Structure 1
Amino acid sequence: MNNADATVLNAHGASDVHFGEVAQFLFREAELMDSHRFNDWLDLWCSDGLYWVPCNSENLTPDKSVSLIYETRSQLDDRVFRLKGRHAHAQSPRSRLMRVVSNMVIEEASTESVTVRSNFVLGEVRSDRQETWFGRNRHVLLREPNGLRIKEKKVFLLNNDSPMNNLTFLI
Protein backbone atom coordinates (compact mmCIF):
# COMPACT_ATOMS: atom_id res chain seq x y z
CA MET A 1 0.00 0.00 0.00
CA ASN A 2 1.19 3.50 -0.84
CA ASN A 3 1.81 5.66 2.28
CA ALA A 4 -0.34 8.44 0.79
CA ASP A 5 -3.25 5.99 0.75
CA ALA A 6 -2.63 4.70 4.26
CA THR A 7 -5.60 4.75 6.59
CA VAL A 8 -5.18 5.70 10.24
CA LEU A 9 -6.94 3.33 12.61
CA ASN A 10 -8.33 4.40 15.97
CA ALA A 11 -8.00 2.35 19.18
CA HIS A 12 -10.99 0.24 18.15
CA GLY A 13 -9.53 -0.59 14.74
CA ALA A 14 -12.02 1.60 12.87
CA SER A 15 -10.81 3.69 9.95
CA ASP A 16 -11.15 7.40 10.70
CA VAL A 17 -8.97 9.38 8.33
CA HIS A 18 -6.72 8.91 5.33
CA PHE A 19 -3.16 10.10 5.91
CA GLY A 20 -2.98 11.30 2.30
CA GLU A 21 -6.01 13.54 2.80
CA VAL A 22 -4.40 15.16 5.85
CA ALA A 23 -1.04 15.56 4.09
CA GLN A 24 -2.69 17.15 1.05
CA PHE A 25 -4.58 19.54 3.32
CA LEU A 26 -1.37 20.69 5.05
CA PHE A 27 0.45 21.02 1.72
CA ARG A 28 -2.46 23.05 0.34
CA GLU A 29 -2.47 25.35 3.37
CA ALA A 30 1.26 25.99 2.94
CA GLU A 31 0.79 26.75 -0.76
CA LEU A 32 -2.01 29.23 -0.06
CA MET A 33 0.03 31.06 2.60
CA ASP A 34 3.15 31.18 0.42
CA SER A 35 1.23 32.54 -2.59
CA HIS A 36 -0.62 35.16 -0.49
CA ARG A 37 -4.01 33.66 -1.35
CA PHE A 38 -5.42 35.00 1.89
CA ASN A 39 -9.15 34.52 1.27
CA ASP A 40 -8.61 30.91 0.17
CA TRP A 41 -6.48 30.37 3.31
CA LEU A 42 -9.25 31.80 5.52
CA ASP A 43 -11.70 29.40 3.87
CA LEU A 44 -9.70 26.54 5.43
CA TRP A 45 -10.64 27.75 8.93
CA CYS A 46 -13.63 26.97 11.13
CA SER A 47 -15.64 30.01 12.19
CA ASP A 48 -14.39 29.55 15.77
CA GLY A 49 -10.78 28.73 14.85
CA LEU A 50 -7.78 29.68 16.99
CA TYR A 51 -4.26 30.55 15.71
CA TRP A 52 -1.47 30.53 18.30
CA VAL A 53 2.26 31.20 18.03
CA PRO A 54 3.70 30.93 21.57
CA CYS A 55 6.75 32.79 22.79
CA ASN A 56 9.64 31.32 24.81
CA SER A 57 8.31 27.81 25.45
CA GLU A 58 6.16 25.31 23.62
CA ASN A 59 4.44 24.14 26.81
CA LEU A 60 3.09 27.41 28.19
CA THR A 61 -0.57 28.29 28.26
CA PRO A 62 -1.66 31.34 26.26
CA ASP A 63 -3.70 32.84 29.09
CA LYS A 64 -0.65 32.99 31.41
CA SER A 65 2.17 33.82 29.00
CA VAL A 66 3.13 36.14 26.20
CA SER A 67 2.38 34.97 22.67
CA LEU A 68 3.77 36.17 19.37
CA ILE A 69 0.29 35.60 17.90
CA TYR A 70 -2.90 34.52 19.64
CA GLU A 71 -5.86 35.18 17.39
CA THR A 72 -9.44 34.06 16.98
CA ARG A 73 -10.99 33.65 13.54
CA SER A 74 -12.35 37.21 13.58
CA GLN A 75 -8.87 38.54 14.42
CA LEU A 76 -7.48 36.46 11.55
CA ASP A 77 -10.02 38.15 9.29
CA ASP A 78 -8.64 41.53 10.44
CA ARG A 79 -5.03 40.38 9.85
CA VAL A 80 -5.89 39.25 6.33
CA PHE A 81 -7.70 42.53 5.63
CA ARG A 82 -4.52 44.41 6.52
CA LEU A 83 -2.30 42.05 4.51
CA LYS A 84 -4.48 42.35 1.40
CA GLY A 85 -4.65 46.13 1.46
CA ARG A 86 -2.21 48.92 1.91
CA HIS A 87 -2.46 48.67 5.69
CA ALA A 88 0.51 46.38 6.25
CA HIS A 89 3.39 48.77 5.63
CA ALA A 90 5.81 46.19 7.04
CA GLN A 91 4.86 43.98 4.08
CA SER A 92 5.55 46.50 1.36
CA PRO A 93 6.98 44.92 -0.68
CA ARG A 94 5.47 41.55 0.21
CA SER A 95 7.67 38.77 1.46
CA ARG A 96 8.34 36.02 -1.05
CA LEU A 97 7.77 32.80 0.84
CA MET A 98 8.41 29.12 0.33
CA ARG A 99 7.88 26.49 2.96
CA VAL A 100 8.47 22.78 3.15
CA VAL A 101 6.12 20.77 5.38
CA SER A 102 7.37 17.39 6.57
CA ASN A 103 7.41 14.78 9.32
CA MET A 104 3.64 14.63 9.61
CA VAL A 105 2.44 12.48 12.50
CA ILE A 106 -1.21 11.93 13.32
CA GLU A 107 -1.58 12.13 17.11
CA GLU A 108 -5.30 11.46 17.32
CA ALA A 109 -8.07 10.70 14.84
CA SER A 110 -11.80 10.13 14.94
CA THR A 111 -14.67 10.44 12.50
CA GLU A 112 -15.06 14.12 13.51
CA SER A 113 -11.47 15.37 13.90
CA VAL A 114 -7.79 14.70 13.49
CA THR A 115 -4.83 16.16 15.37
CA VAL A 116 -1.61 16.22 13.38
CA ARG A 117 1.93 17.43 14.11
CA SER A 118 4.32 18.49 11.38
CA ASN A 119 7.63 20.28 10.93
CA PHE A 120 8.35 23.11 8.56
CA VAL A 121 11.17 25.13 7.08
CA LEU A 122 10.09 28.53 5.78
CA GLY A 123 12.26 30.66 3.54
CA GLU A 124 11.45 34.37 3.32
CA VAL A 125 13.00 36.86 0.91
CA ARG A 126 12.14 40.54 1.21
CA SER A 127 14.01 43.72 0.30
CA ASP A 128 17.31 41.95 -0.42
CA ARG A 129 17.16 40.15 2.93
CA GLN A 130 16.77 36.41 3.35
CA GLU A 131 15.47 34.67 6.49
CA THR A 132 14.98 31.02 7.31
CA TRP A 133 12.40 30.01 9.90
CA PHE A 134 12.20 26.55 11.46
CA GLY A 135 9.29 25.26 13.46
CA ARG A 136 6.63 22.74 14.37
CA ASN A 137 2.91 22.91 13.68
CA ARG A 138 0.08 21.27 15.54
CA HIS A 139 -3.24 21.32 13.72
CA VAL A 140 -6.61 20.23 15.05
CA LEU A 141 -8.71 19.62 11.96
CA LEU A 142 -12.46 19.08 11.95
CA ARG A 143 -14.30 17.18 9.27
CA GLU A 144 -17.09 19.34 7.86
CA PRO A 145 -19.40 18.63 4.91
CA ASN A 146 -17.02 20.48 2.55
CA GLY A 147 -13.90 18.71 3.86
CA LEU A 148 -11.32 19.33 6.57
CA ARG A 149 -11.20 22.70 8.34
CA ILE A 150 -8.72 24.14 10.86
CA LYS A 151 -10.14 24.35 14.38
CA GLU A 152 -6.79 25.13 16.04
CA LYS A 153 -3.32 25.80 14.75
CA LYS A 154 -0.28 26.15 16.99
CA VAL A 155 3.03 27.18 15.44
CA PHE A 156 6.14 26.76 17.55
CA LEU A 157 9.09 28.68 16.10
CA LEU A 158 12.40 27.20 17.22
CA ASN A 159 13.91 30.66 17.67
CA ASN A 160 10.87 32.16 19.42
CA ASP A 161 12.96 33.42 22.33
CA SER A 162 15.40 35.36 20.10
CA PRO A 163 15.04 38.83 18.58
CA MET A 164 13.04 38.55 15.34
CA ASN A 165 12.46 40.65 12.31
CA ASN A 166 9.05 41.38 10.82
CA LEU A 167 6.52 38.55 11.28
CA THR A 168 3.50 40.16 9.62
CA PHE A 169 3.24 37.42 7.00
CA LEU A 170 1.39 34.22 7.82
CA ILE A 171 3.45 31.49 9.45
Structure 2
Amino acid sequence: MDDTNALLSHASFAKAVQFIWGEAELLDRKNYRAWLDLWSPSGFYVVPIDPDATDFAATLNYAYDDQHMRELRVQRLTSGYSPSVTDAARTVRTVSRFTVASEEADMIDVHSAQVIVAYKRGVATLFAADVEHRLSLTSGEPRIEQKVVRLIDSTDALNAIGFLL
Protein backbone atom coordinates (compact mmCIF):
# COMPACT_ATOMS: atom_id res chain seq x y z
CA MET A 1 0.00 0.00 0.00
CA ASP A 2 2.73 2.49 -0.86
CA ASP A 3 0.59 4.33 -3.41
CA THR A 4 -1.23 7.22 -1.70
CA ASN A 5 -4.26 6.99 -4.01
CA ALA A 6 -4.61 3.28 -3.25
CA LEU A 7 -4.40 4.04 0.47
CA LEU A 8 -7.05 6.73 0.33
CA SER A 9 -9.42 4.42 -1.52
CA HIS A 10 -8.97 1.80 1.22
CA ALA A 11 -12.09 2.26 3.38
CA SER A 12 -10.60 1.83 6.87
CA PHE A 13 -7.58 4.01 6.06
CA ALA A 14 -9.76 6.77 4.62
CA LYS A 15 -12.02 6.58 7.69
CA ALA A 16 -8.96 6.77 9.98
CA VAL A 17 -7.56 9.84 8.19
CA GLN A 18 -10.92 11.62 8.38
CA PHE A 19 -11.16 10.72 12.06
CA ILE A 20 -7.66 12.10 12.80
CA TRP A 21 -8.41 15.32 10.91
CA GLY A 22 -11.66 15.63 12.89
CA GLU A 23 -9.76 15.15 16.14
CA ALA A 24 -7.39 17.99 15.16
CA GLU A 25 -10.38 20.23 14.42
CA LEU A 26 -11.94 19.50 17.83
CA LEU A 27 -8.68 20.32 19.60
CA ASP A 28 -8.11 23.57 17.68
CA ARG A 29 -11.67 24.62 18.57
CA LYS A 30 -10.98 23.68 22.23
CA ASN A 31 -13.88 21.24 22.17
CA TYR A 32 -12.18 19.01 24.72
CA ARG A 33 -15.35 17.33 25.99
CA ALA A 34 -16.13 16.05 22.47
CA TRP A 35 -12.49 14.97 22.21
CA LEU A 36 -12.98 12.72 25.24
CA ASP A 37 -15.76 10.92 23.36
CA LEU A 38 -13.27 9.86 20.67
CA TRP A 39 -11.47 7.57 23.10
CA SER A 40 -11.86 3.94 24.01
CA PRO A 41 -12.14 3.67 27.82
CA SER A 42 -8.94 1.59 27.84
CA GLY A 43 -7.01 4.06 25.67
CA PHE A 44 -3.77 5.88 26.54
CA TYR A 45 -2.55 9.31 25.48
CA VAL A 46 1.25 9.50 25.59
CA VAL A 47 3.82 12.24 25.01
CA PRO A 48 7.13 10.51 25.69
CA ILE A 49 10.33 12.35 26.53
CA ASP A 50 12.61 9.65 25.10
CA PRO A 51 12.02 9.65 21.32
CA ASP A 52 12.72 5.90 21.16
CA ALA A 53 10.56 4.84 24.12
CA THR A 54 8.13 1.97 23.62
CA ASP A 55 7.45 0.91 27.21
CA PHE A 56 5.63 4.06 28.26
CA ALA A 57 4.59 2.75 31.66
CA ALA A 58 8.26 2.26 32.59
CA THR A 59 9.63 5.55 31.26
CA LEU A 60 9.24 9.23 32.07
CA ASN A 61 6.71 11.00 29.84
CA TYR A 62 5.32 14.50 29.50
CA ALA A 63 1.92 12.79 29.49
CA TYR A 64 0.77 9.23 30.09
CA ASP A 65 -2.97 9.56 30.46
CA ASP A 66 -5.53 6.81 30.92
CA GLN A 67 -9.24 7.65 30.87
CA HIS A 68 -9.23 9.15 34.38
CA MET A 69 -6.19 11.34 33.67
CA ARG A 70 -7.63 12.48 30.31
CA GLU A 71 -10.79 13.54 32.11
CA LEU A 72 -8.76 15.43 34.72
CA ARG A 73 -6.72 17.10 31.95
CA VAL A 74 -9.91 18.24 30.22
CA GLN A 75 -11.34 19.44 33.53
CA ARG A 76 -8.19 21.53 34.04
CA LEU A 77 -8.37 22.88 30.48
CA THR A 78 -12.03 23.87 30.77
CA SER A 79 -12.38 24.95 34.41
CA GLY A 80 -11.09 28.49 34.03
CA TYR A 81 -9.23 28.25 37.34
CA SER A 82 -5.76 27.90 35.86
CA PRO A 83 -4.03 31.04 34.53
CA SER A 84 -2.68 29.04 31.61
CA VAL A 85 -6.24 28.07 30.67
CA THR A 86 -7.86 31.48 30.93
CA ASP A 87 -5.18 32.84 28.61
CA ALA A 88 -4.82 29.66 26.55
CA ALA A 89 -3.01 29.72 23.23
CA ARG A 90 -4.99 29.60 20.02
CA THR A 91 -3.80 26.69 17.92
CA VAL A 92 -3.82 25.50 14.35
CA ARG A 93 -2.90 21.88 13.69
CA THR A 94 -1.81 20.48 10.36
CA VAL A 95 -1.74 16.70 10.17
CA SER A 96 -0.28 14.99 7.11
CA ARG A 97 2.06 12.25 5.83
CA PHE A 98 -0.33 9.46 6.77
CA THR A 99 0.90 5.88 6.59
CA VAL A 100 -0.58 2.60 7.76
CA ALA A 101 1.81 0.97 10.22
CA SER A 102 -0.36 -2.11 10.73
CA GLU A 103 -3.92 -3.25 10.23
CA GLU A 104 -6.03 -6.05 11.62
CA ALA A 105 -9.73 -6.80 11.22
CA ASP A 106 -10.77 -4.39 13.99
CA MET A 107 -7.66 -2.23 14.56
CA ILE A 108 -5.57 0.13 12.44
CA ASP A 109 -2.31 1.87 13.36
CA VAL A 110 -1.81 5.11 11.45
CA HIS A 111 1.34 7.21 11.66
CA SER A 112 1.39 10.86 10.65
CA ALA A 113 3.24 14.13 10.99
CA GLN A 114 1.70 16.97 12.96
CA VAL A 115 2.66 20.62 13.13
CA ILE A 116 0.97 22.83 15.72
CA VAL A 117 1.25 26.58 15.66
CA ALA A 118 0.28 28.03 19.02
CA TYR A 119 -0.35 31.77 19.26
CA LYS A 120 -0.40 33.54 22.62
CA ARG A 121 0.35 37.12 23.65
CA GLY A 122 1.74 38.09 20.25
CA VAL A 123 4.08 35.10 19.99
CA ALA A 124 3.67 32.12 17.67
CA THR A 125 5.33 28.90 18.83
CA LEU A 126 5.84 25.88 16.61
CA PHE A 127 5.55 22.27 17.77
CA ALA A 128 6.30 19.40 15.39
CA ALA A 129 5.78 15.72 16.08
CA ASP A 130 5.47 12.27 14.68
CA VAL A 131 2.11 10.93 15.83
CA GLU A 132 0.92 7.35 16.15
CA HIS A 133 -2.79 6.62 16.38
CA ARG A 134 -4.00 3.11 17.21
CA LEU A 135 -7.69 3.11 16.35
CA SER A 136 -10.25 0.46 17.25
CA LEU A 137 -12.84 -0.12 14.53
CA THR A 138 -15.00 -2.60 16.45
CA SER A 139 -17.93 -0.29 17.20
CA GLY A 140 -18.37 0.95 13.63
CA GLU A 141 -16.92 4.34 14.56
CA PRO A 142 -13.18 4.62 15.23
CA ARG A 143 -12.09 5.00 18.86
CA ILE A 144 -8.59 5.90 19.99
CA GLU A 145 -6.86 3.02 21.77
CA GLN A 146 -3.54 4.82 21.91
CA LYS A 147 -2.18 8.13 20.73
CA VAL A 148 1.55 8.75 20.95
CA VAL A 149 2.87 12.24 20.19
CA ARG A 150 6.65 12.11 19.64
CA LEU A 151 7.78 15.73 19.70
CA ILE A 152 10.90 16.28 17.62
CA ASP A 153 12.40 18.35 20.44
CA SER A 154 11.14 16.17 23.31
CA THR A 155 14.52 16.00 25.03
CA ASP A 156 14.74 19.80 25.29
CA ALA A 157 13.11 21.83 28.06
CA LEU A 158 9.55 22.53 26.87
CA ASN A 159 7.03 25.05 28.20
CA ALA A 160 3.24 25.20 28.01
CA ILE A 161 2.58 21.92 26.24
CA GLY A 162 -0.57 20.94 28.16
CA PHE A 163 -2.76 21.75 25.15
CA LEU A 164 -0.91 19.39 22.78
CA LEU A 165 -3.44 16.60 23.05
TM over 0.5: yes
Q: What's the secondary structure of 2:58's corresponding residue? A: coil
User: Residue 110 of structure 1: which of 75, 79, 104 is its match?
Assistant: 104
1:86 paired residue number: 80
User: Residue 22 of structure 1: which of 16, 25, 32 is its match?
Assistant: 16
Task: Report runs of 4+ in structure 1 exceeding 6 Å deviation.
Answer: none
1:53 paired residue number: 47
**Higher strand residue share:** 1
2:161 paired residue number: 167
Distance in 1 between residues matched to 2:148 and 2:109, nearest whole Å: 11
1:96 paired residue number: 90
Unaligned stretches of 5+ in structure 1? 8-16
Q: Is the 8 A contact 1:91 1:168 kept in 2?
A: no
| Residues 60, 108 of structure 1: alpha-carbon distance in 2 compared, 3 angstrom cutoff | closer
Deviation of 1:63 (Å): 3.0
User: Residue 145 of structure 1: which of 116, 139, 145 is its match?
Assistant: 139
**Higher helix residue share:** 2
Q: Is the 8 A contact 1:3 1:20 kept in 2?
A: no
- Aligned-residue identity in percent: 25
Distance in 2 between residues matched to 1:146 and 1:81, nearest whole Å: 28
2:67 paired residue number: 73
Q: What's the secondary structure of 2:56's corresponding residue? A: coil
Q: What's the secondary structure of 2:159's corresponding residue? A: coil
Distance in 2 between residues matched to 1:18 and 1:62, nearest whole Å: 27
Q: What's the secondary structure of 1:63's corresponding residue? A: helix
TM-score, normalisation: structure 2: 0.90
The letter of the residue matching 1:76 is: R
1:12 paired residue number: none
Deviation of 1:91 (Å): 2.3
User: Residue 121 of structure 2: which of 119, 127, 131 is its match?
Assistant: 127
Deviation of 1:92 (Å): 2.3
What is the count of residue pairs matched by the alignment?
162
